[in-house]
Structure 1
């Protein structure tokens, strides 16, 4: 007999683990900015409008989790400083960011249309979609179900 979702320990849930790292506004926006070329501490603080202390903590957590890497650079006559780059794990968050963008445009967008559009190198807009391992596009989320995986534990 398969356990129901309510019978499983929610601490083993990958969504719970991911939101533990990325569940606050600033972490997701830091990833967005680094992806789009804002990589230095001062530039991130200025662009995001976040306090330096909060930014320092978010950057440290994202580096510790392997989402960002800290790379030193030095400009002529200046002390060494750091910039941040996405790791492979960080780049794997791009579909999540596109899904946030799509959802926000559909449900929270302004009358003037989307403020930003992600485009493929061919020029077409990029959209998020669910596709099963056999290649079927999921048109309705009710076509899916969550099943316990090998790492699931009962409550």
Structure 2
């Protein structure tokens, strides 16, 4: 089973798609291990620089660079705070675009649990009822199509 390529995407060369590939654009933004770890932590509620460093194991310089980049790309936003007798610092919080990545992070985690298991298991459950959560592909009509029924279609966007 594979995805279906439709219309211009079905051509062998597919060169006219150019930078249209959303997977390539997304990976160029979030494809670094450090970026994914920081987004994971932000989705868990981590917001302070020192906590990001401690929980990811990244160096301070890598953490600072990646947090700056995630803010510039619109995935995180900075909010100032000040502890008593301390200098101003910033908390980092997911933006709407950052929250839209959470299902992708959950899907990566689910894949890792299934195909790269370790001695400890991490499960996704609905906090209210305890039922397992599954990440799946679903169309707007409510169907969960098999991979072979997902069509990739190249469309031109209207000029703005």
Q: Which runs of 5+ in 1 are unaligned?
A: none
Alignment equivalent of 2:111, drawn from 94, 103, 109: 103
Counterpart of 1:125? 132
TM-score, normalised relative to structure 1: 0.87
1:119 deviation in Å?
A: 2.3
List alignment gaps of at least 5 residues for structure 2.
Answer: 1-5
Residue 33 (structure 1) shift: 0.4
Query: How do 1:34-73 and structure 2 match up within 5 A?
Result: 34-73=42-81
Name the Cα RMSD after superposition. 1.7
TM-score, length-scaled by structure 2: 0.84
Contact map agreement 2:48 2:92 (CA 8 A) in 1: yes
SS at 2:153 equivalent: coil
Deviation string 1:25-70 (CA, Å, 9 cap, x unpaired) is 1111101101112211111111111111211111111111111011
Aligned partner of residue 120 in structure 1, secondary structure = coil
**Distance in 2 (alpha carbons) for counterparts of 1:113 and 1:48:** 18
Report the count of equivalent residues.
148
> Which shows bigger deviation, 60-69 or 9-18?
9-18
User: Do 2:17 and 2:154's aligned partners in 1 also have CA atoms closer than 8 Å?
Assistant: no
Q: CA deviation at 1:113?
A: 5.2
